[in-house]
Amino acid sequence: MRIRITAVVLIALFLFGCGIADRNKNIDKMLQEKKYYEVISLLEGMNNKSAKNYLQIAEAYKELRKLAIADSYYVIALDKNPALRNEVIKSYSIIASTDFMKGYTSNAIKYWQKILELNNSYDINIGFYHLGKHYFDNKDFVSAKPLLINAMSISLPSHDKIKTYRMLIDIFKSEMKFDTAMIYAERASTEFVNAQDPETDFKVAYGEMKFTIAKEKYLKKDYDEALNLLLEFIDNPSPLSLIDDAHLYAGNIYFDLNNYEKAIYHYKKVIEYSDVKVYGSSDTYEEANNKLKEILKRTMQ
């Protein structure tokens, strides 16, 4: 009976007659020639596979878009030889980029995560934004922050850049780092200075941070810095909903410094805004009114 010798058997006979280095070189050539099934048949049937062989099988499965199988072989290759890390990272990067371009963002995120697990300083470019947003949406601000900061250094579409600014502002606010949040709000306000859409208007976020920092300094009795920030806010009040509070704190600082003339000016502003019933509140009105009575009592003595 005639025995049919397949192409794979012929290739195997040829390769096993070579040295290991030549064998690997020839298999790499087969991969370049897109002989993926031949590589898989040849190497999966081989005993005592090297780390390089596992990497080659993984590459074949990757090209056939059998990514789960490919990934399992990448893991084995790395386990047998950690020095292959850069080659595996390169392959993961290709998978992530390809899937992102195809619209498979969730799978791209998965491989960007794998890349950073192998090398947390690797440049994943657009992956910084998408992976950072993924962590942010899942409330993992610790993981999101460095990725989003890196995203600020790459070219992003305006709508993604705006979201990056907003996410970083929210992260720093959650960490009570209001100074840093204000810096990002100010940068965003400058970058999108001509924006008319509320979505791209960072003046409110910048004003809120300035007011919050001023209030913190006021409560700590750091009056010089608090007053400077409050007066800056009063000159350019955004959001207007905080204008009565800003005047109240400014008035209280002048009151504590016994500068009653300026204190009266700010307390009257609080009452003025409360009378308008738009930007004032009953609490600020009541406190300002009581302070005015106290000033009158002191100056009449």
pLDDT digits (tens, 9 = 90+) for 204-243: 889 999 999 999 999 999 999 999 999 999 998 988 889 9
Residue 1 has pLDDT above 60, yes or no: no
Judge whether 113 lies within some domain: no
Q: Which two tokens stand for residue 33?
A: 């020639």
Q: Are residues 191 and 220 in the same domain?
A: no
| Percent share of the chain, pLDDT over 70 | 88
Residue 77 to residue 58: CA distance in whole angstroms: 9
Domain boundary (201, 224, 239) is at 201
pLDDT value at residue 21: 67
Residue 19 has pLDDT above 60, yes or no: no
Rounded to 5 degrees, what are φ and ψ at 42?
A: -65, -50
What mean pLDDT is reported for the chain?
89
Residue 59 has pLDDT above 80, yes or no: yes
Judge whether 54 lies within some domain: no
Residue 45 has pLDDT above 90, yes or no: no
Domain boundary (172, 201, 230) is at 201
Tokens 């020839």 label which residue? 26
Residue 158 has pLDDT above 50, yes or no: yes
Domain boundary (201, 231, 264) is at 201
Q: Which residue type occupies 287? A: E
* Average pLDDT, integer, range 100-105: 95
* Average pLDDT, integer, range 245-254: 95
Q: Are residues 232 and 301 in the same domain?
A: yes
Judge whether 98 lies within some domain: no
Specify the number of domains making up the chain: 2
Distance linking the first and last C-alpha atoms of the chain: 127
Q: Are residues 133 and 171 in the same domain?
A: yes
Could you tell me the residue range of the domain that residue 174 belongs to?
125-201
Q: Are residues 170 and 225 in the same domain?
A: no
CA angle 185, 188, 193 (to 5 degrees): 120
Judge whether 285 lies within some domain: yes
Closest residue by Cα to residue 168 from 153, 190, 146: 146
For residue 282, give the H/E element and its range.
helix 282-300
Q: Are residues 249 and 221 in the same domain?
A: yes
* Average pLDDT, integer, range 53-58: 96
What pLDDT, in 10s, does the model give residues 185-210?
999 988 887 766 655 678 888 999 99
CATH number at residue 246: 1.25.40
Q: Are residues 220 and 289 in the same domain?
A: yes
Judge whether 65 lies within some domain: no
Residue 96 CA: distances (Å) to CA of 36, 56, 125, 278: 20, 19, 11, 52
Residue 104 has pLDDT above 70, yes or no: yes
Q: Are residues 279 and 221 in the same domain?
A: yes
Three-state SS for the chain is CCCCCCHHHHHHHHHCCCCHHHHHHHHHHHHHCCCHHHHHHHHHCCCCCCHHHHHHHHHHHHHCCCHHHHHHHHHHHHHHCHHHHHHHHHHHHHHHHHHHHCCCHHHHHHHHHHHHHHCCCCCCCHHHHHHHHHHHHCCCHHHHHHHHHHHCCCCCCHHHHHHHHHHHHHHHHHCCCHHHHHHHHHHHHHHCCCCCCHHHCCHHHHHHHHHHHHHHHHHCCCHHHHHHHHHHHHHCCCCHHHHHHHHHHHHHHHHHCCCHHHHHHHHHHHHHHHHHCCCCCHHHHHHHHHHHHHHHHHHHC
Q: Are residues 224 and 253 in the same domain?
A: yes
Judge whether 87 lies within some domain: no
Q: What is the DSSP string of 170-205?
A: HHHHHTT-HHHHHHHHHHHHHHTTT--SGGG--HHH
Residue 214 to residue 58: CA distance in whole angstroms: 58
Q: Are residues 172 and 230 in the same domain?
A: no
Whole-prediction pTM value?
0.80
Q: Are residues 170 and 240 in the same domain?
A: no
Q: Are residues 179 and 219 in the same domain?
A: no
* Average pLDDT, integer, range 100-126: 96
Residue 57 has pLDDT above 70, yes or no: yes
Judge whether 106 lies within some domain: no
What pLDDT, in 10s, does the model give residues 278-288?
555 678 888 99
* Average pLDDT, integer, range 138-148: 97
* Average pLDDT, integer, range 254-283: 83
Judge whether 252 lies within some domain: yes
Q: Are residues 300 and 231 in the same domain?
A: yes
